[in-house]
C-alpha cells in the first residue's frame, strides 16, 4: 500500500519553500521605483553555509549620488551688454552633506523671464563635482537671474545687464564747470620737478649738416624714470636760443633722428633752436643701436604732459644756450594733443603747432570709438587699447565710477581749457581716417567763440589730405613762418 503524502503546511514549506504572495499595488510601485523606496543606508546579509553552521556579516552600501548644496565656483555677478554673452562661463559645484563634491549628477539651468538663455540647459557634474554653462544676457537692462537645481539642491546667480547706449549718453554728456575745476586743481597739485638726473649719453651730433651736441638724459617724475634727448647747436652765447620741443605721435617710441625732419623743414633757422625730444611712459627713446625705455604704465596724453614738462625743466637747467622765453611746441597726432595740453598747463609756452591731433574727447568720434571698444571691437589706433583697458572695460565692469571716467575725458580735452592756450597754428586733413577732422573743428569753434584770430590762432584744413605730414600741402612754410615768432621775427 502506497503511503499517503503529507500535505500539511509545514511539510509543503519544507519541501518547496514559503509560498509566493500575489503582487500588491504598493509592491508594484516599489519595484518600479527602487531609487525612491530604497533606504539610504542598507544592510546586506551575506550567508555562508559551512556544514550546519550559518553566519552573517553586515556590509554598508554606498548611497545613491545626491547633493544638498550648489555653489558658484567662478563667473557669478558678471556685467554684460544686453543681448551679449558673458565674457566668462559660470562654473558651479555640487556638494553633499559633508561638503564633498558630488560627481555624475544632472544639474538643470533655467533663466527667469527676460534674462536670456544658457547653454546647455542640463549638464552632468564632472569628477570634481563641477559643471559650467555659458549665459547670453536678455534684452532687459538691470539684474538678470539664472536658477540652478540638482535634485533638492538649488541656487541662483545674477548678472548685470548694461544698456550701452544709455551708458554712453551719461558718459558723454557735456563736461560741467565742476569737473573742469577739479581737473585744474589736480594739475596744480602735480609735482613735475625732475629728480635723480642722469646724463646717459653725450656726443657730437650733426643737425642736418650743422654741428650740435646730443645729450640723452634720464630723470625721475614721481617714481617713474623718464628718458629724453636734448640737441643743442654749437654756439658760444648763453641763453640765446629758444627751446623747440618735438612731441611725437604713435605709441611705439621716438627716434632722436626724428629731429632731422625739423631741421630740414626749418632750413636756415635750424641753428636757432634747442631741440627737446621726450619719450612717453613705457616706450623707448632710440639712437642708433641704443635704446632707453621710460618706466611706468602708459599715460596717453595726460601723463605724457607731466614727463614732457619735467624734461623741459631739465633742458633749461642743463643747456647753457637755452633761454626760457619763446618756448615752442610742435606735435603730430598723439603729440599734437600733448602739445595743446602742455601749452594749457605751462604758461611759459608761447607757440604751439599741432598737426592732426585730438582736441575733444567728448566728440562724437570718440564716443563711437568707445562704443566699438565696449562691443569688443576696439580700433587699432594710438591710445585706444590704453583707454579700453584703463577706462572702458573697468567702467562697464563696475570697477570704476562714472565720475572718475568723465574726469579722464575732461583732462584730455584741450577745448575745455582753450582760454589758457597760447598762440596756436592747427593743421588737419579732411579725409583723415586716424584722427577725425571733427577734432579740428571742435577747437576752431571754441577759439572763434573766444575771439581768437590770426596770428594768435590759425587753422588750416586740407581738402583730400589724410594723416600724413606730406599730405598737408604748404604746411612746412606755414609752420616755419609761425615759429619765427619765437625768434622775434614774426
Beta-carbon contacts of 393 under 8 Å, excluding residues fewer than 6 positions away, are 373
Q: Domain 193-361+412-487 carries which CATH code?
A: 3.40.50.1820
How far is C-alpha 461 from the geometric centre of its chain's CA atoms? 33
* Superfamily per CATH, domain 69-162: Immunoglobulins (2.60.40.10)
Query: Are the C-beta atoms of residues 415 and 443 closer than 8 Å to each other?
Result: yes
Tens-digit pLDDT profile for the chain (490 aa)? 444 434 444 444 444 455 444 444 434 434 444 333 332 222 222 222 223 333 344 434 345 568 999 999 999 989 999 999 998 999 999 999 999 999 999 999 999 999 999 999 999 999 999 999 999 999 989 999 999 999 889 999 999 999 999 999 999 999 999 999 999 999 999 999 989 999 999 999 999 889 999 999 999 999 999 999 999 999 778 889 999 999 999 999 999 999 999 999 999 999 999 999 999 999 999 999 999 999 999 989 999 999 999 999 999 999 999 999 999 999 999 999 999 999 999 999 999 999 999 999 999 999 999 999 999 899 999 999 999 999 999 999 889 999 999 999 999 999 999 999 999 999 999 999 999 999 999 999 999 999 999 999 999 999 999 999 999 999 999 999 999 988 876 5
List the one residue out of 273, 263, 231, 266 whose CA is nearest residue 479: 266
Per-residue model confidence (pLDDT) at position 489 = 65
pTM of the model: 0.80
Show me where the domains of the chain are located: 69-162, 193-361+412-487
Per-residue model confidence (pLDDT) at position 488 = 79
Q: Vertex 254, ends 250 and 257: CA angle to 5°?
A: 130
Query: Are the C-beta atoms of residues 135 and 116 closer than 8 Å to each other?
Result: yes
Amino acid at each position: 500500500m502506497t503511503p499517503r503524502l503529507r500535505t500539511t503546511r509545514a511539510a509543503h514549506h519544507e519541501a518547496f519553500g514559503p509560498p509566493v504572495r500575489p503582487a500588491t499595488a504598493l509592491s508594484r510601485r516599489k519595484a518600479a521605483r527602487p531609487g525612491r523606496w530604497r533606504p539610504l543606508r542598507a544592510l546586506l546579509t551575506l550567508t555562508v553555509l559551512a556544514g550546519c553552521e550559518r553566519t552573517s556579516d553586515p556590509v554598508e552600501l554606498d548611497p545613491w549620488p545626491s547633493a544638498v548644496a550648489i555653489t558658484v565656483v567662478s563667473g557669478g555677478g558678471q556685467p554684460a551688454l544686453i543681448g551679449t554673452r558673458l565674457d566668462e562661463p559660470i562654473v558651479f559645484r555640487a556638494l553633499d552633506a559633508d561638503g564633498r563634491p558630488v560627481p555624475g549628477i544632472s544639474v538643470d539651468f533655467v533663466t527667469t523671464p527676460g534674462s536670456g538663455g544658457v547653454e546647455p540647459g542640463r549638464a552632468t557634474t564632472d569628477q570634481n563635482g563641477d559643471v559650467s554653462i555659458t549665459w547670453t544676457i536678455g534684452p532687459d537692462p538691470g539684474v538678470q537671474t539664472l536658477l540652478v537645481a540638482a535634485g533638492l539642491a538649488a541656487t541662483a546667480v545674477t548678472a548685470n545687464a548694461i544698456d550701452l547706449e544709455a551708458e554712453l549718453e551719461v558718459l558723454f554728456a557735456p563736461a560741467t564747470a565742476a569737473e573742469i575745476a577739479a581737473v585744474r586743481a589736480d594739475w596744480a597739485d602735480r609735482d613735475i620737478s625732475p629728480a635723480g638726473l642722469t646724463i646717459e649719453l653725450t656726443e657730437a651730433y650733426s643737425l642736418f649738416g650743422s654741428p650740435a651736441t646730443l645729450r640723452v638724459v634720464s630723470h625721475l617724475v614721481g617714481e617713474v624714470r623718464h628718458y629724453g634727448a636734448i640737441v643743442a647747436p654749437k654756439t658760444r652765447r648763453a641763453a640765446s636760443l629758444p627751446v623747440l620741443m618735438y612731441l611725437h605721435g604713435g605709441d611705439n617710441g621716438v627716434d632722436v633722428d626724428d629731429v632731422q625732419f625739423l631741421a630740414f623743414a626749418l632750413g636756415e633757422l635750424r641753428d636757432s633752436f634747442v631741440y627737446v625730444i621726450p619719450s612717453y611712459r613705457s616706450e623707448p627713446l632710440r639712437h642708433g643701436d641704443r635704446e632707453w625705455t621710460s618706466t611706468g604704465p602708459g599715460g596717453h596724453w595726460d601723463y605724457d604732459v607731466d614727463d614732457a614738462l619735467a624734461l623741459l625743466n631739465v633742458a633749461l637747467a642743463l643747456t647753457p644756450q637755452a633761454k626760457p622765453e619763446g618756448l615752442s611746441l610742435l606735435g603730430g597726432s598723439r603729440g599734437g594733443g600733448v602739445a595743446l595740453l602742455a601749452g594749457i598747463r605751462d604758461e611759459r609756452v608761447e607757440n604751439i603747432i599741432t598737426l592732426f591731433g585730438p582736441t575733444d574727447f567728448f566728440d562724437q568720434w570718440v564716443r563711437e570709438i568707445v562704443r566699438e571698444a565696449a562691443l569688443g571691437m576696439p580700433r587699432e589706433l594710438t591710445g585706444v587699447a590704453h583707454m579700453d583697458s584703463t577706462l572702458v572695460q573697468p567702467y562697464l565692469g563696475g570697477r570704476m565710477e562714472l565720475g572718475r571716467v568723465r574726469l579722464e575725458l575732461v583732462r584730455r580735452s584741450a577745448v575745455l581749457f582753450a582760454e589758457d592756450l597760447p598762440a596756436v597754428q592747427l593743421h588737419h586733413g579732411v579725409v583723415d581716417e586716424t584722427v577725425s577732422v571733427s577734432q579740428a573743428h571742435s577747437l576752431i569753434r571754441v577759439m572763434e567763440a573766444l575771439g581768437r584770430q590770426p596770428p594768435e590762432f590759425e587753422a588750416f584744413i586740407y581738402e583730400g589730405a589724410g594723416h600724413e605730414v606730406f599730405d598737408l600741402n604748404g604746411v612746412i612754410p606755414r609752420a616755419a613762418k609761425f615759429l619765427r615768432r619765437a625768434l622775434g621775427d614774426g
